A and B are shown apart, each in its own frame.
Chain A
């Protein structure tokens, strides 16, 4: 019995001793706040997470987003039957991220890092916060601004103190501009690797862009008098326009004159030069980009949109550019960029080589779009929809599946299409995207993906903002010409002699194609409902270009090329932007949890 007691005592001792140690050990996988903010590497890792949570609007992770406007169309598979823009298109309402950023700022401020490092981290987090607000504001109009506080909810408290009403649209823009002002001195003025992180110039860039958006809404929202709310959550008074243009002008010029960035101009081949300026990480023009790196951080954009004959995997042509964009690129010496396809009597013009129809186009076209006869990564790409042949004195066309050949014509339809079939991964428009497409063939495979960056701010934009703001502020034409012609000279086309808003719109359309500018630009100018009116008009309808090779031995036309402009077969409806699309709808769920939110117009 005594022995038995001893055993019990022994076991109890072992168990209790073990217990205390087991329960008190520190977690190997959860880091408490004070540990994170004591180590700079961990602070950086937390911040990196925020940089990765901002892929909104048109971006490389969502190739389909580029097919919704008037830059490109869906090409793979059956026709796309989108009829109008959704009330939630590209809507962002990310107060989780806002809260995380406020936690981060609080953590960094209370950390033991040196003041200099603390300031820089605080500046970066506040920049990201301003960018999140800006993205929400672009879509929704005025939004609730919650400040720096990290809110806590305890059971039983009145939730009304956590419910913030929407600020006016003007006040929201003012807040973003004020935040950018406050952080320019906190942030480093140096460039960083691949322009992936915010610095002083990125903050200034956001300030310039936000002020320009606010200014143009103030000036042009008189064109849409119904797109307003009674409390000015949507709509900015016209009297504020000049002040906002001035802010945009000053901030843009500071970047143009003082920043370490410049227009990329290193390659004598102007077309290549433009491709490298945007789509090469050696570019010294890019101020801020969403960077990717292989292995680990890659996207499928190249895989999705690459041309058939240079693809590394089965996928290709999910989204391909449309003729509308191609024709909006001017000629070097002719401002009308329409391709010369037929003569004055409507007969086809015959070209010796496929590329001849694009001769003397703005070299930026090469850097943005792959057209017939251009190369990609050293491989020449020829689009051939079919054969045009003479039979009994009449012209007929014959088309086939991509790569099909038939005697006596030879190739009937090229490997790269275009066709009107419903086959997957087959080109339907006669072009492919080049901008942001990786020339490394491995990057077009599903498994690897591409680490091409997505440019958010680059030097050229601030020349354009300076030009637009100067124009709206009635500055001398010589000054405005100075900004815009620097861009046109770099591009390799004739300078302008007089600048109108129409010229600014035109220049931005081609310079910034596929860079997530177009939608927000036509919204702030309040021209979206005119451009994309849902009718069969040249700006709302998607067009494709079908090249045909001529088979007519013993005539002068033999082996020449003709080009047919036709409606894109896979965009069933013209683009239709209704007045209600100027602002996203406020979600009913948000109103249910915060009754102070006011609905948007038309809602």
Chain B
């Protein structure tokens, strides 16, 4: 009888000790190894002459970099650009430098840096010099024939056009990696041109259809796109 009593008292004592110990461990560790998450949101748009530049948004293809001075180790923060030319990044307040990365966007690399002062949520415009600018883009669907008209202006003389194409896809994310049909223009010149494509099969098979034009540039992986996709069905 006495023995049982002693045992159960001891067990209870051990249990209390465990509870107190664990609670203490949980609360102390919480305070020590957690840092505040970055809370300031930097948003912006890649622009040329105030107009957004359309790019490939999928695949983390198009990228800018943020650098911050004053620390021992310099690690860039990659900022990915979405297909309408916008980008965003969660940061700590501070002074950053935003730059282009050579070859990872349809614009010429500039050694000029844009200094960004992040103080709470911040919005900026990031002007670039694309190799080509698109304007006057329109899409018309007559029956099953899709026609796109666009004007291509060469901005930077260092690169030429690889091809100009009209793409359709079944989601609003359309680019040279994601499309269901492509029609390349016969011309590879500046100026206004028209591309026609029969989309009968695509109209029949998809519940929605989106169109977009792209100008692929020689010598780099990227292309300039319409900054918006147009819903045609």
Which of chain A's residues has its CB closest to B219's CB?
A: A226
Interface string of A211-234 (1 = CB under 8 A from B): 000000000000011100000000
Interface string of A439-460 (1 = CB under 8 A from B): 0000000000000000000000
Q: How far is the CB of A574 from chain B (nearest CB, A)?
A: 8
Q: How far is the CB of A493 from chain B (nearest CB, A)?
A: 36
- The answer to the question of B50 belonging to the interface, with a C-beta cut-off of 8 Å to chain A, is no
Known: A601-B103, A602-B101, A602-B102. A579 touches B176 (CB 8 A): no
Which of chain B's residues has its CB closest to A226's CB?
A: B103
> Hey, which chain A residues are within 8 Å of B58, CB to CB?
83
The listed residue (B101, B102, B221) touching A578 by CB distance below 8 A is B221
Distance of A573 Cα from B179 Cα, bound (Å):
11
A residues 573-594 with Cβ under 8 Å of B? 573, 576, 578-580, 588, 592
Known: A83-B59, A226-B220. A535 touches B102 (CB 8 A): no
The listed residue (A534, A573, A580, A588) touching B103 by CB distance below 8 A is A580
Q: How far is the CB of B220 from chain A (nearest CB, A)?
A: 6
A residues 37-86 with Cβ under 8 Å of B? 83-84
B residues 167-197 with Cβ under 8 Å of A? 176-177, 182
> Hey, which chain A residues are within 8 Å of B104, CB to CB?
580, 602
Q: Are B220 and A534 in contact (CB under 8 A)?
A: no
Q: How far is the CB of A533 from chain B (nearest CB, A)?
A: 9
> Hey, which chain A residues are within 8 Å of B102, CB to CB?
226, 601-602
- The answer to the question of A603 belonging to the interface, with a C-beta cut-off of 8 Å to chain B, is yes
Q: Are B59 and A84 in contact (CB under 8 A)?
A: yes
Interface string of A522-558 (1 = CB under 8 A from B): 0000000100001110000000000000000000000
Known: A84-B59, A578-B221, A580-B221. A603 touches B177 (CB 8 A): no
> Hey, which chain A residues are within 8 Å of B177, CB to CB?
83, 534, 573, 576
- The answer to the question of B121 belonging to the interface, with a C-beta cut-off of 8 Å to chain A, is no
Interface string of B68-89 (1 = CB under 8 A from A): 0000010100000000000000
Q: Are B176 and A602 in contact (CB under 8 A)?
A: no
Distance of A579 Cα from B103 Cα, bound (Å):
8
Give the most central of A529, A573, A603: most B CB within 10 Å. Answer: A603
Which of chain B's residues has its CB closest to A223's CB?
A: B219
Distance of A534 Cα from B178 Cα, bound (Å):
10
Q: Are B59 and A603 in contact (CB under 8 A)?
A: no
A residues 384-398 with Cβ under 8 Å of B? none
Q: How far is the CB of A447 from chain B (nearest CB, A)?
A: 41
Distance of A329 Cα from B212 Cα, bound (Å):
39
Distance of A97 Cα from B58 Cα, bound (Å):
38
Q: Are B75 and A603 in contact (CB under 8 A)?
A: no
Q: Give the A-binding residues of B (Cβ under 8 A).
A: 58-59, 61, 73, 75, 101-104, 176-177, 182, 219-221
CB<8 Å pairs between A and B, sample of 13: A84-B59, A226-B102, A226-B219, A226-B220, A529-B221, A534-B176, A535-B176, A573-B177, A579-B220, A601-B102, A602-B102, A602-B103, A602-B104
Q: Give the B-binding residues of A (Cβ under 8 A).
A: 83-84, 224-226, 529, 534-536, 573, 576, 578-580, 588, 592, 601-603
The 8 A-B pairs of least Cβ separation, nearest first, read: A578-B221, A602-B103, A592-B73, A226-B103, A579-B221, A588-B75, A83-B59, A534-B177
